[in-house]
Structure 1
Amino acid sequence: MFEIGPGKVAAKTFFDVEFPKGHVGVKSFDAELVDEEGNSVPLYEAYLHHWFAIKYHAKDWNMLKIIPKNPLEGAIYIRNEGTCNSYILPAYWGLGGESRGTKSNIPNPYAVEQGNPSYVPIGYEEKWLLNLMVIDTRGTKHRKHCTECRCNRFNLPKNFYNVTLGIDGKPLSSNYKGGIFCCQDNLQCKLKKDFEAPTRKLALRYKITWVEWNQQQIPVRFYILDSTDRVRTNGSQIIHDCQSEFTIPSNNGKKHSPPHIEKANIPIERGGYLIYGTSHMHTGVINATLYGQDGRTLYTSKPTYGDGKEPGNEKGYVVGMSGSYPKPSSIKIKDGEIVTVETRYKSGFLTGAMGHMYIYLADRLP
């Protein structure tokens, strides 16, 4: 649980969160934002920009009989099978404002294998962390712009661009108009004059379904692919350069401008049968499509926009992204196949846009 006030950003990481114990197969992982009483919070009050779960191996200090100054000393973070730079998009599960309306369940007999003791180094324990970003938009002058993390809508420190490092590890350029770096913890989106409201406590409520691991389960490998990935080679080495987010330029008020397209051609070193796929994108999305090397459509994920006020149907917000459950054996990505991730947004200035595709691949069929 965390405390947040009008216009504030909460960017938090919670370590050693509850997770199924033992050798299990995870079937689904769903989350939503709730208040202190457990009531669902609408996106127009507190926008869930993103949440994600990351696995890590922490030293078992009880076994080592040491009291550490930092319990995370020597922790090993375990990323998914995705192709991005080592520290970009490392999660196993995670979405954003579309969480309530996006399915995450994996069909039988497939599951994400976790807790296998043979994969945990001696002297370590398998643990999980949750990271989230929430923007309280109550009373803000420009609610939509706040959810896009537009830099000029926030009360940034005077030296912000000099001391804030971008995704490349260098100081942010003054041309950076918006995105996750302008939504750091405790920054303030500008409020309407004289607006006042109390702070409140919120929490990310999550639900995991799982089965005990046995010979009937077939493991799947989880990938996050990014439409900003600019793949290049250095001899035989393949280098991925994911930016995680991007800005859509202004269309200067043109009514019939073509959609903004981001496209990445990504080699998949180890392929498999496609079991499930979906995507994480923001308001303004048209769709996201994954193509095979021969141009065949592997799946398309489309948004659902809300048209009401109740949580899960907030007007103007993306409240769900469709998932794909192809017929078993119908879609297979070959080892080394170059797939294409293509994301489409409506034209018009938009900051902090994302185009992440999630796929689960299995080595075999039942």
Structure 2
Amino acid sequence: MATTSKVVMISLSIMMMLFSTTLSVVLEFDENHIKSTTFFSEKVEVGPGKIAVKTLFDIHFPKGHIGIKSFDVEVVDEDGNFVPLYEAYLHHWFAVKYIENITMSEYIKQSHDIRNGIEYERNDGACQGFLLPHYWGLGGESQGTSSNLPGPFAVEVGNPTKIKHGFTEKWLFSIMLIDTRGTHDRKGCTECRCKLMNLPKDFYNVTTNINGQLLSKNYKGGLFCCQDNLQCKLRNGFKGPTRKLSLKYKIRWVDWDEHQVPLKFYILDSADRVISNGSTPIHDCQVEYKIPRNHDNDFPHVKKANIPITKGGYLIHGTAHMHTGVVNITLYGQDGRVLCTSNPKYGIGKEAGNENGYLVGMSVCNPKPGSIIIKDGEILTVESIYENKFRTGAMGISTFTWQNIYQKKIWKFDVKLFSYLL
């Protein structure tokens, strides 16, 4: 338990068993030469109240030097049916890029020892260490959040000139699924409230936080209380079958050529406690935070982080990973201008994708190319706003892609070419 909790947030399960993935492909082409493939991940077994935190290595991914246009995920059962959030809550999924030493591949598969032979290639965001290293990633809001990149813009992957000699590029999923069937408090279970979990008696004596220190007994809930194989408390007498779930993920891409404009991923955290060491910023991303009990204040709860950006660019796409109760999240420029606001969509029904009271989508920003410029060294502000109610494990994780500010303004190409790439 102590060893597991030292691995921070999204990487809680990075040192776990190496899984292979089950492939199911539907290869499609549209009129604009965009290819589309649908895969199913390795199945994950869950039962009532059970928490599954898994790292699935070497997931199936389109091959070659390509540009990713979108990456969308949903949870399905063994028959391929979408599973509603009130049965299996997708707390988060993250797609992380890594490179693997070709000569070590067979050893890694046989020994499940990933300490050697693998190097992670994180995004260009500001968080420290292995915190928030992913490119694509959301949670229960995945089903209603668009990941489509406009026009000629795409995320370049598989460029052989950028892959270290003797290595191969691969991808993994880091996921957390919470089976809430029969739980005593379904909402509290999805927030990973510690008192609602069947925790080991010595939990606080052996579990360490981000910095390797013992977890405080004031820690009321969040990722550390939702470790793999722990369980939310069930209603008396409730019994239910186990089942196997998987991620159904659809990737759209184009073959890379001179017409594509590469984008960089920037993951920013509203809980980043930035300090300065002279001219060098030191980031202390927390990834999650608690909203304390408040009986008298009706104003929303606001969390802000001021984050200096080393390399700016033209903002192309933006959205956020949030949890139920979010009001919105906004990225501001140093002069206070609004760069992007992402608003929530809440479900009103029973069907998957429209679950009543659950966060089922976040709006996206696709500003006119070239209209929003982030300067090198600019200090951006990420502001996440939630309802002012007691909440554990709240997140304010913004995902942005932007184009290098020094690249040629390719969006001024003729209409026919732009239409071809759209």
**1:122 is the counterpart of 2:165:** yes
Q: How far apart are 1:121 and its partner, in Å? A: 1.1
Q: Which of residues 351, 359, 363 is equivalent to 1:318?
A: 359
In structure 1, the partner of 2:230 is 187
2:120 matches 1:77: yes
For residues 133 and 222 of structure 2, what CA distance do their matches in structure 1 show?
19
For residue 67 of structure 1, report the CA deviation from its aligned partner. 8.9
3-state SS of 1:304 partner: strand
In 1: Cα distance, 2:310 partner to 2:105 partner: 38
SS of residue matched to 1:98: helix
Alpha-carbon deviation of 1:111?
Answer: 0.4
* Paired position in structure 2 for 1:43: 85
Aligned equivalents of 1:226 and 1:247: distance in 2? Answer: 14
Query: What's the CA shift for 1:74?
Result: 2.2
Distance 1:103 1:50 in 2: 16
Q: How far apart in 2 are the matches of 1:327 and 1:126? A: 32
Q: 2:135 aligns with which of 72, 89, 92?
A: 92
Question: What secondary structure is seen at the aligned counterpart in 1 of 2:171?
Answer: strand
Matched, 1:333 2:405: no
Q: How does 1:1-366 map to 2 (within 5 A)?
A: 1-61=43-103, 69-70=111-112, 72=114, 73-252=116-295, 254=296, 257-363=298-404, 364=407, 365-366=409-410
What is the identity percentage for the equivalent residue pairs of Structure 1 and Structure 2?
62
Q: Is the 8 Å Cα contact of residues 94 and 137 (structure 2) preserved in structure 1? A: yes
Cα-Cα RMSD = 1.5
Instruction: State whether residues 104 and 117 of structure 2, in contact with CA within 8 Å, keep that contact through their aligned partners in structure 1.
Output: no
Q: CA deviation at 1:163?
A: 1.2
Alpha-carbon offset, residue 238 of structure 1:
1.4
SS in structure 1 at match of 2:245: strand
**Residue aligned with 1:175, SS:** coil
Structure 1 residues 203-240: Cα deviation after superposition (integer angstroms, max 9, x where no partner): 01111111111000000000100001111111232100
Show the counterpart of 2:39: none
Deviations 1:293-344 (A, max 9, x none): 0110001000000000000000000000000010111101000000100000
Aligned residue identity for 2:216: S
- Partner of 2:6 in structure 1? none
Letter in 2 for 1:57: I
Query: For residues 335 and 27 of structure 1, what CA distance do their matches in structure 2 show?
Result: 26
Quote the residue 2:16 is aligned against.
none
Is the partner of 2:224 in helix, strand or coil? helix
Taking structure 1 as reference, are residues 18 and 344 closer, same or farther at Cα in structure 2, changes over 3 Å only? same
Aligned pairs, number = 364
Note if contact 1:274-1:333 (Cα within 8 Å) is conserved in structure 2: yes
Please, which runs of 5 or more residues in structure 1 have no aligned partner?
none
Residues 267 and 18 (structure 1 numbering): CA distance in 2 closer, same or farther, change over 3 Å?
same
Any conservation in 2 of the 1:61–1:68 contact (CA below 8 Å)?
A: no
| Kept after mapping to 2: 8 A contact 1:17/1:128 | yes
- The answer for unaligned runs of 5 or more in structure 2 is 1-42, 411-422
1:225-282 Cα offsets, whole Å, 9 max, x none, are: 0001111111232100000000000012x3x521110000101100000000001110
| Alpha-carbon distance in structure 2 between the residues aligned to 1:347 and 1:103 | 27
Distance in 1 of aligned mates of 2:206 and 2:162: 39
Quick one: distance in 1 between partners of 2:351 and 2:106? 51
How far the C-alpha of 1:136 sits from its partner, in A, is: 0.4
Letter in 2 for 1:343: S
Residues 316 and 117 of structure 1: is their aligned pair in 2 closer, same or farther, counting only changes over 3 Å? same
**What is the TM-score of this pair, normalised by structure 2?**
0.84
The 2-side partners of 1:106 and 1:114 are apart by 15
Alpha-carbon separation, structure 2, partners of 1:58 and 1:340 = 36
